Amino acid sequence: MSGEPRIGIVGATGAVGTVTLGLLSQRGYTNVRAFASSRSAGGSVSFGDRELQVEEATPDALAAGELDIVLFSVGTAASRELVPHAVRGGAIAVDKSSAYRLEPGIPLVVPEVNGARALENDGIVANPNCCTIPLTCVLKPLHDVAGLVNVRVSTYQSVSGAGARRMDALRAEDPAEHNLAMDWTWEGDETDEESKLRAETRKIMELPELPLSATTVRVPVLVGHAEAVWIELEQPLSADEATAILRDAPSVSVVEVPTPKDAAQTDQVLVGRIRPDRASEHGLVLFLACDNLNKGAALNAIQIAELILERQRVPA
């Protein structure tokens, strides 16, 4: 590849697509095309100080060989249908749905944790769940020093994780109706969000047996996911040592009390409340918050794309 990379965004009118466009513009990309379903195609979306026409995401348009990277922010069924056409056209697809995350041979990447895996792709790289990304950013540096034995996590997930329409619904809702929800698909005694968090964390951290127990909960917050986390470690690690390790960790900021609002519209995983777990010998407790649309989705995918673009540029 030479010159400016040609980037396509599929799902450009959605909550994550909108954030993706904003981040690409900020980062100076100019050769960007917006795609959406036939329902949204024909309109336009903002891209920096100009407008992009929204093209229909047809198999032919994606396979035409005119794109280097395609960032998919659509549902799992749409990804399964469209991603192969982008790959056929010679692009690398970075897919934010759960369609390919657990497929053997397809890298599932958090650049700060297993970035090198992004280069081992056959055309598709999967972007993890919006809770898995911040969790692994925090777990990896602690694991490297003290060895993870197990993980327990309860989530506080904002409605933007369920899409732009759920955000509108919360904006219009009588506060007396605000509630917690577990609005996921059931898989036996867990939600699919809970089993994803375990399976994806295992794959990214290359710890295929890691015991991880999650309870995933939707809260009436617009943007920003938080997680209460307990870990048990092989080696003793004090709260001060863990804090020092996390202060040096990429994309992680240590704060007193991480909140979704402080994390919103930042690129960082906020982590705090780092303290010994009074219920175990080598245990720690912590709390984290992250913008689920940004580092939890759009930014992580762009970082993956940049790892690939950088490598492709070297031999040019």
Q: How many chain residues are in contact with a copy of itself, going by CB under 8 A?
A: 48
> Closest approach of Cβ 93 to a copy of itself, in Å?
32
One of 226, 245, 297, 308 touching a copy of itself (CB under 8 A): 226
Cα angle, residue 275 at apex, residues 278 and 226 outer, rounded to 5°: 110
178 is catalytic: no
**For a copy of itself, which residue of 71, 133, 151, 270 counts as binding (CB under 8 A)?**
151
Taking the least distance from each CB to a copy of itself, the nearer of 50 and 171 is: 171
Select which of 85, 130, 131, 290 is catalytic: 130
Rounded Cα gap, residues 209 and 149, in angstroms: 10
Give the angle 175-178-181 at the CA atoms, nearest 5°: 170
The residue within the footprint of a copy of itself, chosen from 85, 101, 117, 152 (CB under 8 A), is: 152
Supply the minimum distance, in Å, between the C-beta of residue 13 and a copy of itself: 20
Q: Please give the C-alpha separations between residue 44 and each of 162, 213, 217, 286, in angstroms, as whole numbers.
A: 23, 43, 34, 42
Interaction mask 255-294, a copy of itself, x per CB under 8 A? --x-xxx-----------x-xxxxxx--x-x-x-x-----
| Angstrom distance (rounded) from CA 54 to CA 20 | 14
What is d(CA 304, CA 302) in angstroms, rounded to the nearest whole number? 5
DSSP 8-state class, residue 119: G
Kindly state whether residue 254 participates in binding a copy of itself, applying the rule CB under 8 A: no
Catalytic residue, chosen from 131, 137, 143, 225, is 225
Residue 216 burial (C-beta neighbours within 10 Å; 0-12, 13-18, 19+): buried
Q: Report the C-alpha gap between 241 and 229 in whole angstroms.
A: 17
Name which of residues 171 to 210 contact a copy of itself (CB under 8 A).
Answer: 171, 173, 175-182, 189-190, 198
The question of whether 143 is a catalytic residue gets the answer: no
Residue carrying the six token digits 């031999």:
315
CA distance 163 to 172: 15
Residue closer to a copy of itself (CB basis): 139 or 301:
139
Pairing of strands 225-233, 186-187: unpaired
**Residue 59 within binding range of a copy of itself, rule CB under 8 A:** no
Residues that bind a copy of itself (CB under 8 A): 150-152, 154, 156, 170-171, 173, 175-182, 189-190, 198, 211-213, 215, 217, 219-222, 226, 228, 230, 232, 239, 257, 259-261, 273, 275-280, 283, 285, 287, 289
